[in-house]
């Protein structure tokens, strides 16, 4: 009988983590996830996984190296997916020290735990890197495509911390002959994306505006371009990377970029609201064509001290060596996210109205 593989996923309560855990369980892995101990049991993204006997959840703290070494030594995972990070760029400017610890030093602790547990020859390690490592350096030439070997110039504390994590992973690969690889990924979204990220902020606001629960959506740079894609496609690439015989770093992208403005338009189209914009840049406002109410406005408070406006990526290597092809389109993803948020807030309103009726009935 073939031995069941063991996978260890850091910070399993997030977006990618829940999709990856389900993917691995479907492939008959024994999955071990770690989450930070908090006063609230914030596991709504993975509650459905607890029904699977091959799923195990452990507590951790990013400063507790001893417990991490203990877990790695006891579990002896075949594959480790390091997805833990403070991944919000704007927040990294407000919490730079915490970001450096959570995104950079944590990766070092994890690699050291593998080495101390004598697993450097048997455990494959995956480090989630980011496109925020790079900046459009080449005089803003639109034909400048970036690859795995392009020069790096992070523009935020988040990018700087991730740059350290990438290079310490490469250092351990070369120093200890570990199977340790980096995945340079673009923005990947889904209905369970954290609510502070721009795509989810847009779809939630659009859903609330369509249900008359919110009046206006406040945004920043509407012309910023991103390569958005569904998180389900990207976790497929994560797994494929650790199934290779040769350890390599890969760019994962779709070769398609869209602006924040595009995503706003698509989201409102999903709820049958036509919008028209007036003025430009910081003074830009968008109006509902039917009611002529202002429903989108640029707010300068959300602008960052430094920004990566636009990057073009070449994922030829990943497509050629991993045979990875995304299944979703960005419009499919947007449609799914808006529909999910509309359904979520509609249910909340129905439940709230139900309780109001009960309270009125008993004159409470």
* Nearest Cα to Cα of residue 303 among 85, 93, 87, 86: 93
In sequence order, what are the residues at sequence separation of 6 or more whose Cβ sits closer than 8 angstroms to the Cβ of residue 95? 86, 157
Residue partners of 106: CB distance under 8 A and separation at least 6: 62, 82, 84, 85, 165
Q: Which residues form the catalytic set?
A: 130, 132, 158
The rounded distance, in Å, linking the Cα atoms of 229 and 190 is 8
Q: State which H helix or E strand residue 146 sits in.
A: none
CA 187/CA 206 separation, integer angstroms: 20
The three-state secondary structure class of 355 is helix
Contacts of 189 (CB under 8 A, 6+ apart): 15, 197, 199, 200, 228, 229, 230, 231, 333, 337
- Cα separation, 13 vs 42, whole angstroms: 7
Alpha helices in the chain (DSSP H): 15-26, 65-75, 89-94, 96-100, 106-116, 157-176, 198-210, 231-241, 260-270, 316-321, 330-361
Which long-range contacts does 60-64 make (Cβ < 8 Å, 24+ apart)? 60/10, 60/34, 60/35, 60/36, 61/36, 61/37, 62/36, 62/101, 62/102, 62/105, 62/106, 62/109, 63/101
How far does Cα 120 stand from its chain's mean position? 27
**How far separated are the first and last CA of the chain, in Å rounded?**
63
| Cα–Cα dist 265/263, whole Å | 5
């Amino acid at each position: 009988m073939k031995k069941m593989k063991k996978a260890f996923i850091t910070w399993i309560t997030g977006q990618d983590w829940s999709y990856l855990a389900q993917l691995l369980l479907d492939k008959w892995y024994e999955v071990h996830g770690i989450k930070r101990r908090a006063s609230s049991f914030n596991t709504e993204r993975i509650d459905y996984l607890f029904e699977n006997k091959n799923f195990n959840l452990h507590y951790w703290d990013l400063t507790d190296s001893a417990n991490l070494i203990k877990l790695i030594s006891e579990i002896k995972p075949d594959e480790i997916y390091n997805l833990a990070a403070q991944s919000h760029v704007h927040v990294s400017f407000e919490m730079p020290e915490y970001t450096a610890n959570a995104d950079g030093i944590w990766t070092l602790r994890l690699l050291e735990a593998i080495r101390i547990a004598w697993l450097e020859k048997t455990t494959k390690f995956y480090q989630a890197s980011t496109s925020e490592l790079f900046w459009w350096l080449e005089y803003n030439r639109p034909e400048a495509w970036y690859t795995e070997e392009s020069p790096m110039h992070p523009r935020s504390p988040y990018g700087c911390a991730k740059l350290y994590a990438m290079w310490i992973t490469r250092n351990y690969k070369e120093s200890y002959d570990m199977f340790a690889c980096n995945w340079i990924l673009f923005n990947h979204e889904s209905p369970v994306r954290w609510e502070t990220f721009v795509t989810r902020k847009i779809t939630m606001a659009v859903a609330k505006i369509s249900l008359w629960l919110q009046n206006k959506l406040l945004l920043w740079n509407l012309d910023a371009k991103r390569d958005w894609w569904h998180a389900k496609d990207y976790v497929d690439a994560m797994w494929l990377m650790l199934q290779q015989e040769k350890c390599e770093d890969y760019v994962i992208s779709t070769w398609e970029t869209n602006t924040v403005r595009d995503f706003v338009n698509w989201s409102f189209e999903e709820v049958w609201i036509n919008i028209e914009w007036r003025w430009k840049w910081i003074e830009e406002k968008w109006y509902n064509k039917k009611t002529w109410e202002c429903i989108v406005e640029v707010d300068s408070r959300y602008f960052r001290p430094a920004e990566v406006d636009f990057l073009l990526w070449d994922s030829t290597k990943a497509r050629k060596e991993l045979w990875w092809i995304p299944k979703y389109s960005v419009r499919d993803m947007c449609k799914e996210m808006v529909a999910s948020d509309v359904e979520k807030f509609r249910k909340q309103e129905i439940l709230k109205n139900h309780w109001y009726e009960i309270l009125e009935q008993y004159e409470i």
